[in-house]
């Protein structure tokens, strides 16, 4: 099963057209942290823990009584700062973040707990201690696809914010969904869904 296709409105977007979506409640494996994602060891540990557990849960679901196979969902991030100037000045030391991976309905809290224990026995990753399982519903949002490096997202974000403020107001946290494997793709081809909840 490919939940990116099943949940197509939320995991596919156009770079040309901003879309409004009503995002339902979904379950996520999450880790909270802070600091520059390019230099923070905590950020790297968070991503490693998220994917190690997500892939372990996938294999457990496939080998379990339900025998369900699915594609692991992409990495997502919620971003904010206590001082909004940290974004304006690109001072990443003040950034706060929640990194997360959506888990399909077949992956229960019990299965995830088993997956965390299995990874802990094999690797004992530092980020495992900070993992949490949480339901998250964003409701009404606007989103658009950004193609290119993360450092060039500014104009795309401004365009999205103009769209929202013309209709209402921003609310919630800046949300990014990373569709590309940045270890393999050239930065010019990175695809990121930029999503912002709207009032």
pLDDT digits (tens, 9 = 90+) for 141-191: 999 999 999 989 989 999 999 999 999 999 999 999 999 988 888 989 999
What mean pLDDT comes out for the span 34-61? 93
- Split at pLDDT 50, 70, 90, the class of 91 is low
Q: Which residues pair with 196 in a beta bridge?
A: 142
| Residue partners of 18: CB distance under 8 A and separation at least 6 | 142, 143, 144, 159, 160, 163
Tokens representing 46? 């968070």
For 68-96, letters b (16+ CB in 10 Å) and e give eebebbbbbbbbebeeeebbeeeebebbe
Domains of the chain: 8-24+137-199 (3.20.80.10), 26-136 (3.20.80.10)
The pLDDT of residue 83: 67
Query: Sheet containing 191-197: which strands, arranged edge to edge?
Result: 19-23, 139-147, 191-197, 174-178, 75-81, 95-103, 26-34, 132-136
The pLDDT of residue 181: 85
Q: Is residue 88 over pLDDT 80?
A: no
Tokens representing 141? 């949002």
For residues 79 and 174, what is the distance between their CA atoms, to the nearest angstrom? 5
């Amino acid at each position: 099963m490919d939940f990116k296709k099943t949940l197509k409105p939320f995991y596919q977007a156009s770079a040309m057209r901003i879309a409004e979506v009503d995002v339902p409640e979904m379950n996520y494996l999450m880790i909270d942290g802070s600091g520059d994602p390019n230099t923070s060891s905590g950020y790297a540990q968070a991503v490693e823990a998220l994917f190690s557990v997500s892939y372990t849960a996938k294999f457990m679901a496939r080998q379990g009584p339900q025998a369900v196979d699915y594609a692991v969902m992409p990495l997502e991030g919620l971003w904010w700062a206590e001082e909004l100037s940290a974004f304006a000045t690109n001072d990443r030391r003040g950034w706060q973040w929640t990194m997360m991976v959506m888990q399909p309905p077949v992956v229960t809290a019990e299965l995830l707990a088993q997956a965390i224990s299995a990874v802990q026995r094999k690797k004992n990753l530092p980020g495992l201690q900070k993992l949490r399982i949480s339901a998250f519903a964003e409701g009404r949002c606007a989103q658009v696809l950004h193609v290119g490096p993360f450092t060039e997202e500014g104009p795309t974000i401004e365009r999205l914010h103009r769209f929202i403020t013309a209709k209402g107001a921003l609310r919630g946290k800046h949300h990014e969904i990373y569709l590309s494997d940045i270890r393999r793709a050239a930065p010019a081809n990175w695809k990121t869904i930029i999503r912002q909840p709207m009032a």
